[in-house]
């Protein structure tokens, strides 16, 4: 199977999927004959191919990171989150958390524009199996914003596909298709890929040889 054929298999699976897909699940499409690194490389190519075509590959690590910031710093505005993360927060990330019932608007800051104040919900605590925010797991030793949200990390792939994005120059650039965040020996990242509903089928890349892994 060459590169073009492999990408067609991946894009068909992603577009037809009703939920996020992990790298392991995508490898099974090829009977595990393609290495995980090769799948990631193909997904990265698809992400580039699909730019400005009404579809976007979204990794879930930024969602978990944004949720952690809200949980530990609440109430916060979107601007507060952007200041901590150092990037513009994609509005779809906030929408995912709201749709999942983990985050809600509890008011507005008395500042120009009256930005919405975000906080976690009772559902967030229920899904983590906690009674109060004081029982939240500690942050990593490096002080990062990726605590061990075991209960939520397993549920993140259940988030439904997003709507086709309305990209703007100021919007956060789409992340790679998989959660290849910087390794942390305490909290290794999950590898999950989510695809939004496409406005049109993406165009495949020129045919080429698939790496032998």
Q: pLDDT tens across 162-186, in order?
A: 333 333 334 444 443 333 333 344 4
CB 138 within 8 A of CB 147: yes
Q: What is the DSSP letter of 166?
A: -
Q: pLDDT tens across 95-111, in order?
A: 888 988 999 999 999 99
CATH, range 1-58+175-213: 1.10.10.10
Range 61-158 classified under CATH 3.90.930.60: no
CB 164 within 8 A of CB 55: yes
Q: Which residues contact 53 (CB under 8 A, 6 or more apart)?
A: 198, 199, 200, 202, 203
* Residue ranges per structural domain of the chain: 1-58+175-213, 61-158
Q: Cα–chain-centroid distance for residue 38?
A: 20
CB 190 within 8 A of CB 153: yes
Q: Evaluate if residue 44 carries a pLDDT over 50.
A: yes
Fold identical between 1-58+175-213 and 61-158? yes
Q: Nearest-CA neighbor of 197 among 93, 96, 55, 57?
A: 55
């Amino acid at each position: 199977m060459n590169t073009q054929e492999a990408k067609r298999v991946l894009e068909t699976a992603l577009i037809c999927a009703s939920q996020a897909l992990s790298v392991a699940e995508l490898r099974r499409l090829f009977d595990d004959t393609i290495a995980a690194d090769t799948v990631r490389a193909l997904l990265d190519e698809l992400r580039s191919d699909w730019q400005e075509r009404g579809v976007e590959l979204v990794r879930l690590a930024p969602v978990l990171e944004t949720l952690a910031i809200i949980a530990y710093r609440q109430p916060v505005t979107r601007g507060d989150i952007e200041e901590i993360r150092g990037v513009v927060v994609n509005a779809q990330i906030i929408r995912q958390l709201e749709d999942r019932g983990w985050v809600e608007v509890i008011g507005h800051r008395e500042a120009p524009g009256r930005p919405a104040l975000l906080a976690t919900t009772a559902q967030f605590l229920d899904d983590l199996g906690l009674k109060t925010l004081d029982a939240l797991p500690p942050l990593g030793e490096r002080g990062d914003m990726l605590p061990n949200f075991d209960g939520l990390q397993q549920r993140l792939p259940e988030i439904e596909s997003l709507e086709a994005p309305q990209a703007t120059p100021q919007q956060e650039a789409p992340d790679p298709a998989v959660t290849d965040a910087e390794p942390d020996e305490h909290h290794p990242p999950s590898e999950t890929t989510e695809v939004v509903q496409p406005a049109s089928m993406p165009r495949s890349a020129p045919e080429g040889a698939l790496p032998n892994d």
